[in-house]
Amino acid sequence: MDPRPAWPTSLGPGEILICPSILSADFACLGDDIARVEPEADWIHVDVMDGRYVPNISIGMPVVRAIRPRTRRPLDVHLMIVEPERYVDAFAAAGADLLTVHAEACLHLHRTLQQIRAHGIRAGVSLNPATPLSAVEEVLDDLDLVLLMSVNPGFGGQRFIPSIPGKIRRLREMREARDRSFLIQADGGIGLSNLAMLKSCGLDAAVMGQSIFAAPDPAQAIRDLRACVG
Ligand code: DX5
Ligand code: ZN
């Protein structure tokens, strides 16, 4: 039996994958905070920051390893680190189901995607707001997800950048033109005010930190978010 959770192959018109970002959880009781979102979340999004690729430092492999047995949801690990190829094997061993690297941080992006997939897990590529879609054009066969940053990476609770909906639409067109099936994910500044609009642009998966963990009841916050899309 494949121990890995199933990967969504197609999403219906009102369906969106909701990925709570634990960057906004309480690190002193991370297991409990994950348990609060577990029944409603699709994936658990884990932000790894190295203080070099982004100005902030967050968490690493030991935390991924520690939370792995605390959830049945896929662990969606977003590597905001330089030279991610140095750590891909360790994050895969720690229990990541999806490893997303930044195109801007990879000298040999194609090779790094192959390295991720060799572990039998999914490979994602993230693009900063200023990075054009052409940065992933040549590796569309080698990835399972494209993550469009809708803030500059490094911190939770920032304002959504308004050029991103157009970028999502253009990526969806590129996917259709190439007859590919990778998922389109966005991360940063997403909440009740813009989620339905982003879904209508073609978004498949939304990462949200503050909109979920800053709410008094994070599970209810996810239900409200899902209802505004459906
Ligand atoms: C930012 C991180 C995000 C962050 C999003 O660099 O990649 O995942 O947690 O937080 P919100 O939803 O609060 O903007
Ligand atoms: Zn993230």
Task: Tell me whether residue 72 is in a domain.
Answer: yes
CATH number at residue 206: 3.20.20.70
pLDDT at 36: 98
C-alpha 85 to ligand 1 mean position (Å): 22
∠ CA 68-74-80 to the nearest 5 degrees? 85
Of all residues in the chain, the percent with pLDDT exceeding 70 is 98
Tell me the residue range of the domain where 22 lies. Answer: 17-229
pLDDT at 4: 63
Q: Is 148 exposed, middle or buried (0-12, 13-18, 19+ CB in 10 A)?
A: buried
pLDDT at 12: 84
**Ligand 1 nearest-atom number relative to CA 153:** 6
Task: Tell me whether residue 84 is in a domain.
Answer: yes
Question: Is the C-beta atom of 191 inside 6 A of ligand 1?
Answer: no
Task: Tell me whether residue 7 is in a domain.
Answer: no
The secondary element (H helix, E strand) that includes residue 195 is: helix 195-201
Task: Look up residue 40 and give its DSSP letter.
Answer: T
Backbone dihedral angles phi then psi of residue 89, each to the nearest 5 degrees: -65, -40
- The pLDDT profile of the chain, 230 residues, written as one tens digit per residue, is 445 667 887 788 889 999 999 999 999 999 999 999 999 999 999 999 999 999 999 999 999 999 999 999 999 999 999 999 999 999 999 999 999 999 999 999 999 999 999 999 999 999 999 999 999 999 999 999 999 999 999 999 999 999 999 999 999 999 999 999 999 999 999 999 999 999 999 999 999 999 999 999 999 999 999 999 98
How many structural domains does the chain have?
1
Question: CA-based Rg of the chain, rounded to a whole angstrom?
Answer: 16
∠ CA 195-23-21 to the nearest 5 degrees? 35
Question: Is the C-beta atom of 171 inside 6 A of ligand 1?
Answer: no
Torsion from C-alpha of 33, 16, 88, 60, nearest 10 degrees: -20
Task: Tell me whether residue 12 is in a domain.
Answer: no
Contact 68, 90 (CB under 8 A): no
Task: Tell me whether residue 40 is in a domain.
Answer: yes
Amino acid at 209: G
Closest listed residue to residue 33, CA positions, set 71, 82, 79, 85: 71
pLDDT at 2: 47
Task: Tell me whether residue 9 is in a domain.
Answer: no
Task: Tell me whether residue 5 is in a domain.
Answer: no
C-alpha 213 to ligand 1 mean position (Å): 11
Taking residue 223's Cβ as centre, other Cβ atoms within 10 Å add up to 14
Task: Look up residue 162 and give its DSSP letter.
Answer: T
Task: For 82-136, give the DSSP string.
Answer: SSGGGTHHHHHHHT-SEEEEEGGG-SSHHHHHHHHHTTTSEEEEEE-TTS-THHH
Question: Is the C-beta atom of 84 inside 6 A of ligand 1?
Answer: no
Q: What is the pLDDT of residues 114-172, one digit of tens each?
A: 999 999 999 999 999 999 999 999 999 999 999 999 999 999 999 999 999 999 999 99
- 2 tagged catalytic: no
Strands 183-187 and 44-49, sheet pairing: unpaired
pLDDT at 3: 57
User: What residues pair up with 207 in beta bridges, in sequence order?
Assistant: 19, 187
Task: Tell me whether residue 11 is in a domain.
Answer: no
pLDDT at 7: 81
Question: Is the C-beta atom of 210 inside 6 A of ligand 1?
Answer: yes
Amino acid at 101: V
